[in-house]
Amino acid sequence: MAKLDDVKDLVSRGRSKLIAAKVQEALDDGSTPQEILDAMIDTMGEVGDRFSRDEIFVPEMLISAKTMKNGLAVLEPLLAEGATENLGTCIIGTVEGDLHDIGKNLVAMMIKSAGYDVIDLGVDVKASQFVDEIKKQPDVKLVALSGLLTTTMPAMRETVKTLKNSDLGDFKVIVGGAPVTPDFASEIGADGYAPDAGSAVTEAKELTA
């Protein structure tokens, strides 16, 4: 679909001011929010591949990320599920040392729309910050950890260990992000793993039911 290709092209070239209108055009043209989201995620993968090949550098990755965020803002109300019940509190963050937040934001958005009260601690979140926030909240059912760098997988392991040893209540820990595998998740003692934002909701509901 031509409009979908235009969306991909704008994300790829980091044209952050033009993307919102183009996403709307793609919607008007008949593309579904999920198709547009998938197209943008694919394009970010291609951006990452170009970075790996030294064809682009960090600033280009950054403006593509900004462009995707602006595009996502248009899709957000359409992707939201419309919760019918309150499922408790979810504390989410990207683990220490890691600044990637688009996937984490997507997971936060989907989990919120499923009916959780989401407290987003942002990026580069230390284990102790998760613990401090859990202590402040009365009804934590889920702690969600995102990580995009192989170099921050030890921080994810450390955070899960800290949470599991904390004796702070009956919450579940779910992990995800490109380098995270189901095996890694179970090895570090997480209760759940999800490969993408949609399945994070399914997994969260199963864990906290």
Shorter beta-carbon distance to ligand B1M: residue 154 or 179: 179
Query: Which of residues 32, 34, 128, 150 is near ligand B1M by CB under 6 A?
Result: 150
Binding residue count for ligand B1M, defined by CB under 6 A = 39
Shorter beta-carbon distance to ligand B1M: residue 27 or 102: 102
Query: Which of residues 33, 93, 103, 115 is near ligand B1M by CB under 6 A?
Result: 103
- φ, ψ dihedrals at 86, nearest 5°: -90, 125
Query: Which of residues 23, 26, 47, 127 is near ligand B1M by CB under 6 A?
Result: 47
Query: Which of residues 3, 8, 22, 100 is near ligand B1M by CB under 6 A?
Result: 100
Distance CA 166, CA 106 (A): 27
Query: Which of residues 4, 19, 148, 185 is near ligand B1M by CB under 6 A?
Result: 148
Q: Is 52 in the site for ligand B1M (CB under 6 A)?
A: yes
Query: Which of residues 1, 21, 62, 78 is near ligand B1M by CB under 6 A?
Result: 62
Binding site for ligand B1M (CB under 6 A): 41, 44-45, 47-49, 51-52, 58, 61-62, 65, 97-104, 106-107, 144-146, 148-151, 174-179, 194, 196-197, 200
